Chain A
Amino acid sequence: MPFMKDNPQPRAATDINPDNWPGVSRLFSAAASLGGSARDAYLDDACPHDPALRAAVESLLRAHDEAGSFGDELAFSLPESVKRLAPGSQLGPFRIESLLGVGGMGEVYRAHDTKLQRAVAIKVLPDSFANDPDRRSRFEGEARALAALNHPHIGAIYGLEETADVAALVLELVDGVTLAATGPLAHDEIVRIARQLADGLEAAHDRGILHRDLKPANIKITPDGNVKILDFGLAKLDRSQVHAASTGSATGPRHATQVGVIVGTAGYMSPEQARGQPVDKRTDIWAFGCVLFSMCARRPPFEDVSGSDTLAAVMERGPEWSLLPASTPRYLDRLLRRCLTRDPKLRLRDIGEARIALELGEDADVSQAPARQPRRLASIVAIAGLLALAALLAVALYLRAPSAPILPATPVSFSVSPPAGGLFNFHPGQTFFALSPDGSRLAFLASTESVPRLVQGESRIWLREMADVEARPLAGTDGATSPFWSPDSRSLAFFADGRLKRIDLPDGPAVTICELPFGSTQGTWGADDVILVGHTRGTGIYAVPAAGGTTREILTPNRSKGEVRVLWPWFLPDGRRFLLTARLDDGDGKLQVGTLDGSTRTVMSVSSNTQWIDPDIVVFAREGVLMGQRVDLEGARPIGAPFSIAQQVEYFFTTSRATFAASRTGTVAYHPGGDLQQLVWVDRNGNESGTISKPAAYEPHSARLSRDGRMLLTARRRPGLGTFDIWRLNLFRQTEEEQLTSGRGSELTPVWIDGERAILFAGDSPGSVPHLFRRDLATGAEEQILPPGPQQLVMDMLPGGRAVAYAERQTAGEFKIFQLPLTAGATPAPLLPPQFDSSAMRVSPDGRAIAFTVARSGRRDLYVAQLPVTREPELAATGVWSAPRWSPDGRQLYSLGDDRTMMSIPIIRTAPSLEVGMPRNLFELKQSASLLEVSREGRFLMLVPKVRAAERPIIVGTAAISSTQR
């Protein structure tokens, strides 16, 4: 039938091509909505002299009319793709006898090997194998490796048989039933099967071969009771087939090698497998755990009701532990929990360990309960299951080399990460976790929000049983801080909403013990159910009954002995005495033993918080090193020398508090701290245009560019110590970095003075707060500008460079800004009207104005004022985050908004009157960052987080102290 007989056109004439497409599609769209004659009339009118164009449009319109529901619904048909083999047919030397079944890759036949005269199984491979030489050769290589896997508990792969149009694997024919088809199994039978499974897996893992799809349907029990694992490694081959097919396109995912059909079966798939992440032998260990669970519970750990529900369970909840019968022996229960740990890093590492556990059976329990063991060593704490064995081994090994003073925690340490996607509630100088006295439980503060916020995110207490692998949040603990344990390790107390509260585990409600009229970051719960809490300012230690009541002051600093603070009470096991740290007016500290009647005895010099390990060890920190010291409590004196337990423990120099916890049994947990940031240049569009130096911990308010923009002053944290030193970086030669200060304390907020030949900064020493210092860069001479007093921070130099503006902490905790002429005998004077509290201020380049932020009711607002400040400062922007920074020409003020936008505020003029424009947003930051400086070219110097301390794990280990230290 001719094509359009009334208006025949050569096909080329109706071509739609890039040249005519814009016109065609425009006319088409206009005409498509019209019908019949209206359409013709439109086209007559629209393209009167271009029949080719009209023909193209009309052909498209006809297609439009014809298409009907085309595209509204598609159906994809998938008929058979694999050739069926008829019984009696021959495949090489193999005579096909019958179809055994249909598997994931293709049909499986029973066949007879006419050469070797034995029965075999033939698995026909998808056509794609037979027809792609590359894939086939890769497959052959893998098949050879699998064929080398000769083990009594692994179904053998004999080889690969290929004919012109069929490729097939020749497999050992295993008679019997699959584990999926067996009925309930007795305990002994379960263990026997599991041991053989572990044995087979171990042999394969030793050769680097993973199964990847272990499940009951892949496990056969022969009539004589032998276990055979089938289809070893075949899932991978199936996977590689898909890879080959998917790598051909440029639009594929970036990591094509990690992508494929999901191998494995939803109910037996490890979480990492379900997420499509790379897998290793721990994925088989997970599946092994699932199989073992299925045998014990007679149901799989993740019910395969629907694929998505199962996946959700695998990834969100973990197994349905309640399905395990109560009769399940403890060691099996523990083994299951070790195998079915969602985080592969915490999972049982080696299937051989499972085999050993199964062989030892209940005997393995002997090493599992250290709390009930007589303690022959100063401290041994089993962490969980098999780790305990490792701990014993480590200690045993150590004891053979008694010359070393201490076995560090590392040999048996493990780490506890914040909940998935969340952060620890980490703040320097506060311990956000607590170990139960028996060492079996770790409580920590974390939120499930991964985005740091100005306002503290929702944080609560999470409980991690050491024998378990997952932490769980405790209801009723929202906003909790500084948790601590009851002596029986069964209750937790914490601070929240200005109250001291307790919660009885496992599921008790949060109960208020008492109102607290002061802030506290430490409590301790004694054997007689008395709770002691410290005052954040160290003005006293208070007691309250754990059952509830009112606080009673029991101890205050002994001024006559130079004590200014009493801090961090920690009960000793008798429930009557406690450790505390007394801070002296010179900044040093003393470890004391206090009693409930208020008496104290000094043991030794210690500045940090302390905790206790039985029978006689005080754990404390000396700067960033966690230390232990045996003490004679009766004589109130140390025994022997202190020894180190762990390095690089977060240590907040300002308060001398270290972030660690110790159990009476010798488990030690600590946090390495360590926010790391990167100095970056950001252009006006918000794009990073360069980095400066290497990631480090910087103090975000301490950065100053030199006038020529070549030099940068920063305050960088000393790793493992927690103090900041001022550095000078040459931005043009970034290898040139010079440490300008190295005091015992921190040096912060530097500004250039005296033509950049000297700096002014705030420096502190242990136990004191920062005060103003001047340092001559040529001679290194330092002088203190103001006598010791409350905390001071440098803000900026005032016009003329002869006076400094600085912020000083006031009694209620707020900062006020003062000005101080840099002349001998000068006295400071307030810079701002009294109602303005501020600790962030910058002088404009012309010296005629200042910009500063004021914090009020959880919000920071930006003000601008003329210098000297005689009139009411003008509100320039609300809801700012960072300190203001001036553009080099003084025409703009920049500040980061709470919503992470970079705000620009026009400064229309500073004299004779001040005029400020409306703020506008320049760009939005991709992550939280600090604005440090603005370069002469208008680039922003910013500090962006690289590693957040709050996401680094807590290290948990055993302070294994040898008997030689007894």
Chain B
Amino acid sequence: MTGSRGPEITNLLAAWNEGDLDARDRLIPLVYDELRRRAAAFIRRERFGHTLQPTALVHEVYLRLVDQDRAVWRNRAQFLAIASEMMRRILVDRARARKMAKRSGRWNRITLAEDVARGAPYDVDVLDLDTALTELSGLDPRKARVAELRFFGGLSLEETGEVLGTSLATTMRDWQAARAWLFRRLTGGRAVQKS
């Protein structure tokens, strides 16, 4: 999303929040762009098989958004927060569907932070990440939510704080803790072994 469109989205969200369905329709293309950009952030490094295209992924996200037309949209960050949830759901749904196909190969994998120095990216199953987030949620719902917003919605720390009503410092602390916990949990001690 280009910066110049930010206020437009916010205004439309406000209008939508007021019950202006026309605003919703005008919003959708903007949201579509926004989500596509975020989807691209997930996938830009990889070659695509024919089964999933970034736009198809975003279509799904945005359909789910539109379907929640009874939700109360507080502002842009809230909106993105809902988008994050949907992105998570979409990725997990896809992973589940494919897992049922038994020949689940690499395609369930999220490549975590390809560290050039180390060479080998951490491959983590989408479903493992989902499970880990759910576990973290049992431990500390707010930190899990921070991670979800950051992972799946790409929200900035500021936006995350806005959604959760926490200060930037608290959001930062939550994010560090959540990230460390998830990394530890997902890499199964590999990170620890390096010490």
Residues of A that sit less than 8 Å from B by CB: 1, 3-4, 16-18, 21, 25, 28-29, 32, 59-64, 66-83, 102, 106, 126-128, 130-132, 241-242, 244-246, 248-249, 251-255, 258-262, 274-276, 307-309, 311-312, 315-316, 419-422, 448-451, 927
Q: A127 is contacted by which of B41, B85, B102 (Cβ under 8 Å)?
A: B102
- Are B25 and A16 touching (Cβ within 8 A)? no
Nearest A-chain residue to B68, judged by Cβ: A253
- Are B67 and A255 touching (Cβ within 8 A)? yes
Query: Complex: how many Å from CA A61 to CA B177?
Result: 9
Tell me the B159-181 residues at the A interface (CB within 8 Å). 173, 175-177, 179-181
Quick one: given A3-B193, A308-B33, A311-B32, are A259 and B51 in contact (CB under 8 Å)? no
B120 at the interface (CB under 8 A from A): no
B residues within 8 A CB of A251?
A: 85, 89
Least Cβ–Cβ distance between B56 and chain A, in angstroms: 6
Quick one: given A25-B140, A251-B89, A260-B63, are A241 and B113 in contact (CB under 8 Å)? no
- Are B22 and A420 touching (Cβ within 8 A)? yes
Nearest B-chain residue to A79, judged by Cβ: B107
B28 at the interface (CB under 8 A from A): yes
Residue with the highest number of chain A CB atoms closer than 10 Å, among B41, B98, B105, B180: B180
The B contact surface, by secondary structure, is helix
The A contact surface, by secondary structure, is loop
A residues within 8 A CB of B68?
A: 253-254
A66-B183, A80-B49, A315-B25 provided; 15 other pairs, C-beta below 8 A? A63-B181, A68-B115, A75-B110, A76-B111, A77-B45, A79-B105, A81-B51, A81-B98, A127-B98, A130-B101, A244-B97, A248-B93, A249-B93, A276-B66, A421-B22
Residue with the highest number of chain A CB atoms closer than 10 Å, among B20, B45, B59: B59
Nearest A-chain residue to B97, judged by Cβ: A245
Query: Complex: how many Å from CA A391 to CA B29?
Result: 39
Least Cβ–Cβ distance between A790 and chain B, in angstroms: 38
- Are B101 and A248 touching (Cβ within 8 A)? no
Least Cβ–Cβ distance between B9 and chain A, in angstroms: 13
Least Cβ–Cβ distance between A11 and chain B, in angstroms: 8
A residues within 8 A CB of B102?
A: 127, 131
Least Cβ–Cβ distance between B142 and chain A, in angstroms: 10
- Are A245 and B67 touching (Cβ within 8 A)? no
Query: Complex: how many Å from CA A59 to CA B115?
Result: 20
Query: Complex: how many Å from CA A141 to CA B173?
Result: 53
- Are B181 and A308 touching (Cβ within 8 A)? no
Query: Complex: how many Å from CA A73 to CA B112?
Result: 8
B residues within 8 A CB of A309?
A: 29
Pick the 6 closest A-B CB pairs, nearest first. Answer: A421-B22, A127-B101, A245-B97, A312-B29, A63-B184, A66-B191
Least Cβ–Cβ distance between B159 and chain A, in angstroms: 14
Query: Complex: how many Å from CA A486 to CA B174?
Result: 69
- Are A73 and B41 touching (Cβ within 8 A)? yes
On chain B, the number of residues with a Cβ less than 8 Å from chain A's Cβ atoms is 88
Q: B151 is contacted by which of A74, A261, A421 (Cβ under 8 Å)?
A: A74
B114 at the interface (CB under 8 A from A): yes
A residues within 8 A CB of B29?
A: 308-309, 311-312, 315-316
A residues within 8 A CB of B43?
A: 75-78
A residues within 8 A CB of B94?
A: 245
A residues within 8 A CB of B112?
A: 70-71, 74
Nearest B-chain residue to A103, judged by Cβ: B50
Q: A76 is contacted by which of B25, B46, B181, B182 (Cβ under 8 Å)?
A: B46
Nearest B-chain residue to A18, judged by Cβ: B139
- Are B96 and A248 touching (Cβ within 8 A)? yes
B residues within 8 A CB of A132?
A: 100
Tell me the B113-158 residues at the A interface (CB within 8 Å). 113-115, 122, 126, 138-140, 143, 147, 150-151
- Are A73 and B193 touching (Cβ within 8 A)? no
Q: B28 is contacted by which of A62, A73, A311, A450 (Cβ under 8 Å)?
A: A311
Query: Complex: how many Å from CA A311 to CA B85?
Result: 23
Least Cβ–Cβ distance between A202 and chain B, in angstroms: 29
A residues within 8 A CB of B122?
A: 70
Quick one: given A63-B181, A128-B101, A276-B67, are A450 and B19 in contact (CB under 8 Å)? yes
Query: Complex: how many Å from CA A126 to CA B92?
Result: 17
The 8 A CB mask of B81-101 against A (1 = contact, 0 = none) is 000011001011110111011
Tell me the B11-57 residues at the A interface (CB within 8 Å). 18-26, 28-30, 32-33, 36, 41-52, 55-56
- Are B67 and A78 touching (Cβ within 8 A)? no
Quick one: given A74-B41, A79-B107, are A253 and B101 in contact (CB under 8 Å)? no
B residues within 8 A CB of A276?
A: 62-64, 66-67
Nearest A-chain residue to B42, judged by Cβ: A76
- Are B181 and A60 touching (Cβ within 8 A)? yes
Least Cβ–Cβ distance between A199 and chain B, in angstroms: 31
- Are B60 and A262 touching (Cβ within 8 A)? yes
B195 at the interface (CB under 8 A from A): yes
Q: B113 is contacted by which of A1, A68, A82, A255 (Cβ under 8 Å)?
A: A68
Query: Complex: how many Å from CA A64 to CA B187?
Result: 12
- Are B106 and A448 touching (Cβ within 8 A)? no
- Are B100 and A74 touching (Cβ within 8 A)? no
Q: A60 is contacted by which of B50, B115, B126, B180 (Cβ under 8 Å)?
A: B180
10 residue pairs from A and B, CB less than 8 Å apart: A4-B192, A18-B138, A60-B180, A70-B179, A71-B112, A78-B46, A242-B97, A252-B89, A421-B24, A927-B19
- Are A422 and B22 touching (Cβ within 8 A)? yes
